[in-house]
């Protein structure tokens, strides 16, 4: 009765010794998450269903991050609904503007997600927390309402796909490039309702920030979740931030996988996803030279401290191209503070960038950098669908922070080495 890490976590939270792919279960939830778009819908359904009190005020997180700070009256009403519900229910983990951050960067940073947890969130990128060895997945607002009432969710146990990364990454090749390469290989439906399990010796070269990036984008391949077995680096991260005990799960040797793929990362160059899909991936050299109008460095995918350090290293002592707008959005308040203390914010400002307060902003076409008709942007975000960042005739190219920064300097898509050698 061999099980993968995802099966083991689901079994543990379902009170079972064994679960198999395709089985439906009710599982206990360690954390339920909502934001200013999905939260108000869940709150409405909670009340329609007769909910009076949430199952556990400490196991719900409400984060106004998509349209916050509020960009208009409608967004202000959404954020108010979240704020009032948090006050009414005495929700412990409500994060107001000034203390909030982009939810999927904020919650691990605050130690609210631990290895072995089962986490659901009314946002598709909830799969981010798999980098800590947690089973985390996005759900609809009605499922979230049920969880807020009962502390449980229903799941169909996913099959697992195993992705093994061997070798050592080349300079300027990051976790973003590995996941883009993988999505380019299998397609946006290549892991449909499956667990993407990432493993291999190459992962030891990746920081936690890079690992979060990889699991964050598992959903772009259609996956139910992305997950990594926690190693010492992940365990140390959890211990430094966490306030409770946790349980480590690992896949059994001989566990069954729908498919196993192996990638030699030493052969991978920085990757760029061309419009209008995350699987429309090309080597940066293939698209170098495409003129751009805007660069966005941020999001739940690449708005963490190491992302900012990487971009600042490229931009230090240089200027943003006069025909390009560079928008930098730290993922959390802690990232913003560290950027100030390390002089990173100064580097961006001196280069001619604008630095925002934490927000999802332009990633979903919200605010802080919407594209006009015909404009092209390089972004460290996770999606580049038609109209994702603005006008349906605009274009978004996805990249890592180093490529984004180099492109901002040259006014066109570029490999970082083109700038560093100048």
Predicted confidence (pLDDT) per residue in 202-216, tens digit: 999 999 999 999 999
CB distance 8 to 249 below 8 Å: yes
Instruction: Return the closest-CA partner of residue 153 out of 282, 285, 248, 59.
Output: 59
User: Rounded CA gap, 281 and 181, in Å?
Assistant: 7
Which pair of tokens denotes residue 231? 């190693």
Which pLDDT value is given to residue 306?
98
Calculate what percentage of the chain has a pLDDT beyond 90.
99
Closest CA to 209 of 250, 242, 179, 184: 179
Structure confidence at residue 422 (pLDDT) = 52
| Rounded mean pLDDT, 93-106 | 97
With a cut of 90, say whether residue 243 has pLDDT above it. Answer: no
CATH hierarchy code of domain 276-420: 3.30.499.10
Structure tokens at 248: 């480590």
Residue range(s) occupied by CATH 3.30.499.10 in the chain: 5-263, 276-420
Q: What distance in Å separates the CA atoms of residue 35 and residue 57, rounded to the nearest whole number?
A: 16
- Is this model's pTM higher than 0.95 or not? yes
% of the chain beyond a pLDDT of 70: 100
Q: How confident is the model at residue 421 (pLDDT cuts 50, 70, 90)?
A: confident
pLDDT digits (tens, 9 = 90+) for 357-396: 999 999 999 999 999 999 999 999 999 999 999 999 999 9
Kindly report the average pLDDT of the chain as a whole number: 97
Architecture of domain 5-263: 2-Layer Sandwich (3.30)
* pLDDT exceeds cutoff 80 at 70: yes
Among residues 331, 271, 275, 307, the alpha carbon closest in space to that of 109 is found at 331
Task: List the end-to-end C-alpha distance of the chain, in Å, as a whole number.
Answer: 58
Burial class (CB in 10 A: 0-12, 13-18, 19+), 407: buried
Q: pLDDT value at position 1?
A: 86
Mean pLDDT of 12-17: 98
Residues 6+ positions from 201 with CB-CB distance below 8 Å: 165, 166, 167
């Amino acid at each position: 009765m061999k099980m993968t890490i995802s099966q083991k976590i689901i079994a543990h939270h379902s009170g079972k010794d064994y679960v198999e792919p395709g089985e439906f279960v009710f599982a206990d939830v360690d954390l339920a998450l909502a934001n200013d778009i999905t939260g108000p819908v869940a709150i409405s359904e909670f009340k329609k269903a007769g909910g009076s009190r949430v199952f556990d005020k400490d196991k719900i997180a409400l984060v106004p991050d998509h349209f916050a700070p509020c960009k208009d009256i409608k967004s202000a009403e959404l954020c108010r609904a979240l704020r009032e519900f948090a006050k009414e229910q005495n929700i412990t983990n409500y994060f107001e503007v000034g203390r909030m951050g982009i939810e999927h960067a904020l919650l691990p940073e605050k130690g609210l997600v631990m290895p072995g947890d089962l986490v659901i969130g009314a946002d598709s990128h909830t799969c981010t927390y798999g980098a800590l060895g947690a089973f985390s997945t996005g759900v609809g607002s009605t499922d979230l309402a049920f969880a807020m009432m009962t502390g449980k969710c229903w799941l169909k146990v996913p099959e697992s796909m195993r992705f093994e990364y061997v070798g050592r990454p080349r300079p300027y090749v990051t976790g973003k490039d590995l996941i883009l390469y993988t999505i380019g290989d299998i397609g946006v439906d290549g892991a449909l309702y499956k667990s993407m399990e990432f493993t291999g010796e190459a992962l030891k070269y990746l920081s936690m920030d890079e690992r979060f990036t990889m699991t964050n984008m598992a959903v772009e391949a259609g996956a139910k979740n992305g997950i990594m077995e926690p190693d010492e680096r992940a365990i140390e991260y959890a211990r430094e931030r966490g306030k409770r005990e946790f349980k480590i799960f690992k896949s059994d040797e001989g566990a069954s996988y729908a498919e196993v793929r192996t990638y030699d990362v030493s052969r991978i160059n920085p990757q760029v996803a061309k419009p209008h899909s995350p699987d429309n991936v090309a080597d940066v050299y293939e698209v170098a030279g495409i003129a751009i109008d805007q660069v966005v460095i941020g999001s739940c995918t690449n708005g963490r401290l190491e992302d900012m350090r990487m971009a600042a290293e490229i931009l230090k002592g240089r200027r943003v191209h006069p025909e390009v707008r560079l928008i930098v959005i730290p993922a959390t308040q802690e990232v913003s503070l560290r950027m100030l203390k390390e002089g990173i914010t100064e580097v961006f400002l001196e280069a001619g960038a604008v630095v925002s307060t934490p927000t999802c902003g332009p990633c979903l076409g919200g605010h802080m950098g919407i594209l006009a008709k015909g404009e092209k942007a390089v972004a460290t975000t996770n999606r580049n669908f038609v109209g994702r960042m603005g006008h349906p005739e605009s274009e978004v190219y996805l990249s890592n922070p180093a490529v984004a920064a180099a492109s901002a300097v040259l006014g066109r898509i570029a490999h970082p080495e083109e700038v560093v050698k100048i």
